[in-house]
Structure 1
Amino acid sequence: MKRFLTAGAGVLMLAGTLNAVPVQAEERPPTVAEQSLRALAARHDLAIGTAVDTDALRDAADPQYRALAASQFSSVTAENVMKWESLEPTRGTYNWGPADELIEFARKNRQQVRGHVLVWQNQLPAWLTQGVSDGTIGKEQLRDILRNHITTVVKRFKGKISQWDVVNEAASDPWDTPSSIHLKGFWAQHLGPGYIADAFRWARAADPDALLFYNDYNIEAFGDRGPSDKTWYVYTMARRLRASGVPIDGVGSQGHLGTQYGNYDALQVLEVLDAFSDLGLATAFTEVDVRSQMTDGVRAGDSNEINPRLQASASNYSVLLQACLANRRCLSYTVWGFTDRHSWVPGWFSDPPEGMATLYDESYRPKRAYNVVKADLAFSGPPYVLPRVSQKPRR
């Protein structure tokens, strides 16, 4: 009995000691709603990015733009300040300031940078186009100018750019004349088709470590694989470049969609991503937005017209993201601006007027599209969604 009493007293003393220790409440993990897009995308090793308007970025009267660009995204793209007319408005004189500002913003916020763009037929400086037009810049000189531009720009940002859009929008559209897809624009006209391979080789020589992309729009799904199928044309071009030893590492699909069109489902889009991956190429969605026609009803606030557009927009964002998540070589998903306050769409699509293209409205309130993108990132996982397969730059 004495032994039992002694043991019982010991148990009571131990229980009292344990009860005296304050119980630590388990820390509650953040809910999906509380997490950023970049935090959820990191689970998949996916870079989620936005194009950045550097004027808005430095606007002290609009701090929310800078805060969301920093907190929600793990990658940034220069919307305009790395295009040729912005970088070299006067021949031989470069304006690096705005681009450097974006690079520094990304460094402070531990973000990747997509370089956009080295070779494009639009937004070229007047001194270049006028020189070609009036004959003061000949073909060989033009080729040297292009090589110098690519080399100068890529070396300037060497080690700071994860992906470069080397050549942008070189393929025509089926509504052009002729309807069969062909190389179009300033560079094809004046230098011939060889400029594409040259551009990739010059970019690789300037930075051995950046991933080099061909970038274009309306290449989300295959058509009939005939002469007017732009996606098939770009796929065939990429296959030939790859087979020729050109150092192309990936293909970027811009993803500019509209709710008024009959768009694609995720499996159709995935088919294209898988086809490029089978060539050994990385893929990316580089300029995603989903615009809607701004009818009188939309402008008047009619929910019967607004709600279907918001739902269709969310569905289109989701289709592209689901396909990207399912393709392990899809390395990044970038939206072309994140708020209607600073969207390019209304200024470009005015007849009829279009808008409502981004994840946030003009007051920075997240739309249905934002929440659907967040849900796709949160609820995707094995066996069909696995971490990304990193791409090594092709030498």
Structure 2
Amino acid sequence: MKTTLLLAALPAATIALPTWPWNKPHGHNKPLKYSGLDVLAKRAGLKYFGTAIDNVVLDNPTYISIAHNRSEFGQVTPSNGQKWMYIEPVQNKFNFTLGDQITVPAKKKGQLRRCHNFVWHNQLPDWLTGRNWTKPELVKVLENHIKHEAKHYYNDCIAWDVVNEAFEDDAVASLRKDIWLDVIGKEYIELAFKFARKYTKPGTKLYYNDYAIERVNNKSRAVAALVKDFKKRHIPIDGVGLQAHYTVGRAPSYDEQLATHKLFSDLGVETALTELDVRIQLPDNATLQAQQGAVYANSTKACLDADDCVGITVWDFWDPVSWVPSTFPGFGNADIWDANFTKKPAYYAISDLLRSYD
């Protein structure tokens, strides 16, 4: 199975179960009218609650019926199909099939689309990484790729993750050593945003997206410095995506997350939780699932209480297609539906928290 290779190493934190309504034994005295997560999120003031969708599971009708249920998910993100290795597998030969398999049905169902991504150090084709480029050559390659992909999805994307994971996890949050930095230099980031603004539809939100920036730490401060510099020099940037790949027992608190949203909103950009999941160290049990629900609820509440957090996207919703087990051996069950397509306590944690804002 192809998975998104995002290595989220989060510092330890103690999770305390909150006292919100969902933390009571689930089951109401009388039936409640059903409302999916997106309906509840919009009532609570968000623009969307969404999910990533990967192409490997498109032949499963039960999965598809949930993924494109607009009541549950008002927005979708192609988790892999818009990445460089699939979009431009041969230089200047573009193939939008995998991206379209996600965006076209979503558009028909009236779901918003977040698009992911233009520039990343990973999942690049061999023709790009397997030769030496001059700086002018690689700048032209970068612009050409963004131009063609942005134009193909011109009417499809409310937002683009323009640059993904440009910072390292070292003590000083230095820029990641990759083909872009090595050949073009640090200005590749601003060039990507300039090209994105040039070729995307006016009004499309341009995001910087990264993991382990959900606390105020060296990495999130480095991203904030980038945003501040861009704003000062009028480089287009509209948002920061907090990937939010969390672990039960090590996730940031509500207060820590709210402070991070404020760090970016104070700079005049919106935020979103772009890849939310919460992995459990296996074997799973009811206590861990309750703690997982607390993390999902904390994250949802922080977004709702932030000034400019616009929405939440879970990084898929069904445990069997999660990227977690292949990347973090011994961990899993990170999503909000289990293998039997049963809603987990985490689903109800989110749902009941959103209801409390209605």
Normalization by structure 2: what TM-score?
A: 0.87
Residue type of the alignment partner of 1:194 = E
Give the C-alpha shift of residue 55 in structure 1: 2.9
Give the C-alpha shift of residue 110 in structure 1: 0.6
2:163 alignment counterpart: 167
Once the two structures are superposed, the pairs formed by residues 71-110 of structure 1 within 5 Å of their partners are 71=69, 72-110=72-110
Once the two structures are superposed, the pairs formed by residues 191-202 of structure 1 within 5 Å of their partners are 191-202=184-195
2:61 alignment counterpart: 63
> For 2:302 and 2:146, how far apart are their aligned partners in 1?
32
Pick aligned residue for 2:221 from 232, 237, 254: 232
Check whether the contact 2:46–2:304 (CA below 8 A) recurs between aligned residues: no
Pick aligned residue for 1:343 from 296, 319, 322: 322
Residue type of the alignment partner of 2:51 = T
1:278 alignment counterpart: 266
Give the C-alpha shift of residue 264 in structure 1: 2.1
SS of the aligned residue for 2:307 comes to: coil
> For 1:45 and 1:222, how far apart are their aligned partners in 2?
23
- 1:358 counterpart = 2:335: yes
> For 1:163 and 1:278, how far apart are their aligned partners in 2?
20
Check whether the contact 1:91–1:127 (CA below 8 A) recurs between aligned residues: yes
Instruction: String of CA shifts for 1:90-141, please: whole Å, max 9, x gaps.
Output: 122111112122221111111110110100000001110002xxx3x32211
Structure 2 gap ranges (5+): 1-29
SS of the aligned residue for 1:374 comes to: helix
- 1:204 counterpart = 2:191: no
1:308 alignment counterpart: 287
2:50 alignment counterpart: 49
> For 1:165 and 1:292, how far apart are their aligned partners in 2?
27
1:156 alignment counterpart: 152
Moved more, 95-104 or 330-339: 95-104
> For 2:177 and 2:117, how far apart are their aligned partners in 1?
15
> For 1:139 and 1:192, how far apart are their aligned partners in 2?
9
Instruction: String of CA shifts for 1:18-50, please: whole Å, max 9, x gaps.
Output: xxxxxxxxxxxx965621111111212431111
> For 1:216 and 1:65, how far apart are their aligned partners in 2?
27
> For 2:31 and 2:333, how far apart are their aligned partners in 1?
28
Check whether the contact 1:252–1:283 (CA below 8 A) recurs between aligned residues: yes
Give the C-alpha shift of residue 185 in structure 1: 3.1
- 1:213 counterpart = 2:207: yes
Residue type of the alignment partner of 1:341 = P
> For 1:334 and 1:32, how far apart are their aligned partners in 2?
25
1:370 alignment counterpart: 347
> For 2:191 and 2:146, how far apart are their aligned partners in 1?
10
Pick aligned residue for 2:174 from 175, 182, 196: 182
Residue type of the alignment partner of 1:372 = A
Provide the aligned C-alpha RMSD in A.
1.5
- 1:143 counterpart = 2:139: yes
Larger radius of gyration: 1
SS of the aligned residue for 1:101 comes to: helix
Give the C-alpha shift of residue 53 in structure 1: 1.2
Residue type of the alignment partner of 1:168 = N
Check whether the contact 2:262–2:307 (CA below 8 A) recurs between aligned residues: no
Residue type of the alignment partner of 1:233 = A
1:325 alignment counterpart: 304
SS of the aligned residue for 2:256 comes to: helix
1:27 alignment counterpart: none
> For 1:78 and 1:113, how far apart are their aligned partners in 2?
8
SS of the aligned residue for 2:156 comes to: coil
Check whether the contact 1:260–1:293 (CA below 8 A) recurs between aligned residues: no
Pick aligned residue for 2:277 from 258, 272, 289: 289
- List 4+ stretches of structure 1 deviating above 4 A: 30-33
Give the C-alpha shift of residue 332 in structure 1: 1.4
Are the structure 2 counterparts of residues 231 and 80 from structure 1 closer, same or farther at C-alpha, using a change threshold of 3 Å? same
Moved more, 35-44 or 357-366: 35-44
Give the C-alpha shift of residue 239 in structure 1: 1.1
Structure 1 gap ranges (5+): 1-29, 224-228, 299-304, 382-395
Check whether the contact 2:247–2:280 (CA below 8 A) recurs between aligned residues: yes
The answer to which structure has the higher helix fraction is 1
Structure with bigger RCO (C-alpha 8 Å, 6+ apart): 2
> For 1:183 and 1:279, how far apart are their aligned partners in 2?
21
Moved more, 214-223 or 31-40: 31-40
Check whether the contact 1:159–1:210 (CA below 8 A) recurs between aligned residues: no
Check whether the contact 2:244–2:276 (CA below 8 A) recurs between aligned residues: yes
Give the C-alpha shift of residue 272 in structure 1: 1.2
